[in-house]
Amino acid sequence: METMTPDKGMPDRGTPEREKPDTVVLIHGLWMTPRSWEHWVDHYQARGMTVFTPTYPGFEIEVEALRENPDIIAAVTVPETVDLLARVIRSLPRPPIIMGHSFGGTLTQLLLARGLGCAGVAINSAPTEGVYVLPPVQAKSLFPALKNPANRHKAFGFTPEQFHYAFTNTLSEEESRAVWDRYHIPAPGNLIWEYGFIANLKPGHQETWVDYTADRPPLLFIAGGKDHTMPPAVQRANAKRYQKSGALTEYHEFGDRDHWTCGAPGWETVADYALNWAIAHASAPLLARSR
């Protein structure tokens, strides 16, 4: 596993034009919807990419409607979500680059483990099973959702103040509230508890387990040095789990960025680094494979 030097741009390493991927699939995390990628979609389309933002079962409606009735997503599970995303990816003419933020990073890892995509980028990723690191700032971020076991059976939303600590701690309160107003929704308690907290306590493999030794497309972990919800220690520990795999795994840290790295000022640097890396390292055999 190669550890990248923080905050340096990743140049396109000259993959032959005919082999370059032309499609990106962006997968959002918990407490968000595909709307959270709205700026990335425009940015990548301006670079000539076709962009898809598939979502979890039941998340197809707008943020405001999900806030109005979050019960419709309270019981969403990982297997049904991965299956839905996999169907979208398999329907594409060529294997795409898969990028996921937060829990979308977990889903990205699960999709790559199925042999899908030509490269993957996990941004501020929630861990897959077997990653046992829990820094204090992460525990504090997730405590509002985990303090009451009853939250396992409903959708849980952050207050604006809780959201400011967990997601947008590099922004002012006013800026953070604007982000909360535009993007935040309650998250399925089932996912927060069963797969983010209890998975490592249960015997046997759970739904977020991957074979860390198996072959798969190249994978980049991107961390934010000021991320409270999924701190760099979590990203490094997750990446380290793949050290026995022959597949390429790399790590890059942006030292001054929080969990809202995909939308906070300067997000373009993160977006360009992720895309340049993925294009440079995309698996040529996978690109040629018909789906």
Tell me if 160 is assigned to some domain: yes
pLDDT score recorded for residue 197: 55
Distance CA 87, CA 82 (A): 9
- List of residues 6+ apart from 18 with CB closer than 8 A: none
Q: How many domains does the chain have?
A: 1
Tell me if 145 is assigned to some domain: yes
Residue 249's closest CA among 217, 279, 224?
217
| Stretch (H or E) spanning 175 | helix 173-183
Tell me if 290 is assigned to some domain: no
pLDDT score recorded for residue 288: 41
Tell me if 234 is assigned to some domain: yes
Burial 245-264 (b: 16+ CB within 10 A, else e): bebbbbbbbbeebbbbbbbb
pLDDT score recorded for residue 164: 98
Phi, psi of 50 (to 5 degrees): -90, 130
> What's the Rg (C-alpha) of the chain?
18
Tell me if 71 is assigned to some domain: yes
Terminal alpha carbon distance of the chain: 29
pTM comes to 0.89
Q: Return the structure tokens found at 29.
A: 């995390």
Tell me if 17 is assigned to some domain: yes
Residue-by-residue pLDDT tens, the chain, 291 positions: 433 333 444 445 444 444 789 999 999 999 999 999 999 999 999 999 999 999 999 999 999 999 999 999 998 999 999 999 999 999 999 999 999 999 999 999 999 999 999 999 999 999 998 898 889 999 899 989 888 888 788 999 999 999 999 999 999 999 999 999 999 999 998 888 766 555 555 555 678 889 999 999 999 999 999 999 999 999 999 999 999 999 999 999 999 999 999 999 999 999 999 999 999 999 855 444 433
Q: What's the domain range around 91?
A: 2-285
Task: Specify which residues 122 forms β-bridges with.
Answer: 100, 221
Tell me if 174 is assigned to some domain: yes
Supply the CATH number for residue 98's domain: 3.40.50.1820
Compute the 3-state secondary structure of the chain and give helix, strand, coil in percent, each to the nearest 5.
40, 10, 45
Task: Specify which residues 50 forms β-bridges with.
Answer: 23
CA distances (Å), 237 to each of 36, 135, 240, in order?
26, 11, 5
pLDDT score recorded for residue 67: 94
Tell me if 56 is assigned to some domain: yes
pLDDT score recorded for residue 277: 98
